[in-house]
């Protein structure tokens, strides 16, 4: 049996042909395919605007900048995320802080958020932006977080890097009913891929304008937005300090083709989860669950060891799984424990639920194409190791 990764892309002949078609066309970048891809994702999510960029990291960066994060302002997120979520605020010179997780879903705890907001208000240190992360593809309780945003006046960026194809209250994640914008990632391990790539959805036309400018050097060609008269048809003005965060036409063609398969991918991930539930039943493991009102995209399947003696052997169990050619992983190391963040003054001990989660978590393989035989190998190996 060849090694089983924890996640991988599913690329078929149709995807290859879509990319090759673009290579034979007039535009490799800044052509018609990126807007078509954006429209496709916007339609899927039921939002007016989608802005494609070169990665979710780039998406988070310009979303933070466009929403006004800067020195003196703060972004709050969860400690159990990829470092890119909080790094985005640091790129803007802003501060970050973390809200501990809910032990059931491992998403940011709404109760902890509420308590921390009440405290921050007394100290005059309210966050400017809160960035909930839909861990494993399972939506946070966005209606509750949005309710707190109305009371405390913060903006919301949903980090839905794991969650395209998921639903909350029966509507697609990314519809921004309860947020200012939503960020997706199209890295090959995620639900759909453009190799590297990301995208932001929003309902706010001004935010869309800012994001479009920041994606491309802060330049505008709209005379309405210029200072003074235009010099002629060639004229543009740089009015913000932007970046080159554009997605290429090749990537957008792959993304469009992958969007055709999105529902099938997520359905297959649900079938894999059902099989894991049957295969792993009765083992001393805590299996991941969907939150209330959530239909997960199931990007990840993180189980937790559920006995103190097993938690003490976390590393050994992990290594034995790797020895059995099961390329398990851990999502995530708490961000406050990273050396860069420790130097900023963070301590993982201040996020006890995140630390408890980290010490027990193992990410099992889940991706379209994972076979029943491979899943059985994972289950048999776990049974042997946990006996």
DSSP of 19-83, one letter per residue? Answer: HHHHHTSS-SSSSSHHHHHHHHHHHHHT-SEEEEES-HHHHHHHHHHHTT--TT-EEEE-SSS-T
User: Does residue 305 contact residue 169 with C-beta atoms inside 8 Å?
Assistant: no
- Which of 9, 57, 87, 258 binds ligand PLP (CB under 6 A)? It is 57
E-strand ranges in 239-343 read: 285-286, 294-295, 301-305, 326-327
Give kind and range of the element (H or E) at residue 274: helix 262-280
User: Does residue 173 contact residue 152 with C-beta atoms inside 8 Å?
Assistant: no
**Footprint of ligand PLP on residues 83-112 (CB under 6 A)?**
84-85
Q: Choose the stretch contacting ligand PLP; rule: CB under 6 A; options: 17-25, 79-87, 203-211, 274-282.
A: 79-87
**HEC string of 98-166?**
ECCECCCCCCECHHHHHHHHHHHHHCCCCCCEEECECHHHCCCCHHHHHHHHHHHCCEEEEECCCCCCC
d(CA 140, CA 376): 31
- Our CB check for ligand PLP shows the closer of 213 and 331 to be 331
d(CA 80, CA 133): 9
| 366 near ligand PLP, rule: CB under 6 A | no
Q: How far is the CB of 251 from ligand PLP (least distance, A)?
A: 11
| 133 near ligand PLP, rule: CB under 6 A | yes
- Our CB check for ligand PLP shows the closer of 141 and 159 to be 159
- Which of 33, 51, 56, 211 binds ligand PLP (CB under 6 A)? It is 56
- Which of 198, 242, 255, 291 binds ligand PLP (CB under 6 A)? It is 198
**Footprint of ligand PLP on residues 135-164 (CB under 6 A)?**
159, 161-162
Q: How far is the CB of 160 from ligand PLP (least distance, A)?
A: 8
- Our CB check for ligand PLP shows the closer of 55 and 179 to be 55
Size of the site for ligand PLP (CB under 6 A): 14
Cα angle 307-309-312, degrees, rounded to a multiple of 5: 110
Q: Choose the stretch contacting ligand PLP; rule: CB under 6 A; options: 50-58, 263-271, 360-368, 369-377.
A: 50-58
Q: Choose the stretch contacting ligand PLP; rule: CB under 6 A; options: 17-25, 53-61, 109-117, 143-151.
A: 53-61
Q: How far is the CB of 229 from ligand PLP (least distance, A)?
A: 40
User: Does residue 257 contact residue 70 with C-beta atoms inside 8 Å?
Assistant: no
Q: How far is the CB of 192 from ligand PLP (least distance, A)?
A: 12
- Which of 55, 138, 194, 296 binds ligand PLP (CB under 6 A)? It is 55
- Our CB check for ligand PLP shows the closer of 57 and 210 to be 57
User: Which residues contact ligand PLP by CB under 6 A?
Assistant: 55-57, 81-82, 84-85, 133, 159, 161-162, 185, 187, 198
């Amino acid at each position: 049996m060849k090694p089983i990764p924890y996640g991988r892309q599913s690329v078929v002949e149709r995807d290859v042909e879509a990319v090759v078609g673009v290579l034979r066309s007039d535009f490799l970048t800044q052509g018609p395919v990126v807007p078509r891809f954006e429209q496709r994702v916007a339609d899927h999510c039921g939002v007016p605007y989608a802005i494609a960029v070169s990665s979710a990291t780039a998406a988070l960066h310009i979303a933070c900048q466009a929403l006004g994060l800067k020195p003196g302002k703060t972004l709050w997120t969860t400690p159990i995320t990829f470092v890119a979520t909080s790094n985005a605020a640091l790129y803007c010179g802003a501060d970050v802080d973390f809200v501990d997780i809910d032990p059931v879903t491992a998403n940011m705890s709404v109760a902890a958020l509420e308590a921390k907001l009440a405290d921050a208000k007394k100290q005059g240190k309210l966050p400017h932006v809160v960035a909930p992360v839909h861990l494993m593809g399972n939506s946070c309780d966005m209606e509750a977080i949005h309710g707190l945003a109305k009371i405390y006046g913060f903006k919301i960026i949903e980090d839905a890097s794991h969650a395209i194809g998921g639903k909350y209250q029966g509507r697609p994640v990314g519809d921004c009913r309860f947020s200012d914008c939503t960020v997706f990632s199209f890295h090959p391990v995620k639900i759909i891929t453009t190799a590297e790539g990301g995208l932001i959805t929003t309902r706010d036309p001004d935010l869309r304008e800012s994001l479009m400018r920041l994606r491309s050097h802060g330049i505008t060609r709209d005379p309405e937005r210029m200072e003074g008269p235009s010099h002629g048809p060639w004229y543009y003005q740089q009015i913000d300090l932007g970046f080159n965060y554009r997605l290429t036409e090749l990537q957008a063609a792959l993304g469009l083709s992958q969007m055709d398969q999105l529902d099938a991918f997520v359905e297959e991930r649900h079938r894999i989860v059902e099989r894991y539930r049957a295969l792993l039943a009765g083992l001393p493991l805590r299996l991941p669950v969907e939150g209330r009102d959530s239909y997960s995209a199931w990007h990840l399947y993180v189980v937790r060891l559920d006995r103190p003696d097993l938690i003490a052997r976390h590393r050994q169990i992990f290594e034995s799984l790797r020895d059995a050619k099961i390329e398990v992983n851990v999502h995530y190391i708490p961000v406050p424990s990273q050396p860069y963040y420790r130097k900023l003054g963070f301590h993982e001990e201040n996020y006890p639920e995140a630390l408890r989660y980290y010490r027990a978590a193992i990410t099992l393989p889940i991706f379209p194409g994972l076979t029943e035989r491979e899943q059985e190998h994972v289950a048999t190996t776990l049974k042997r190791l946990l006996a």
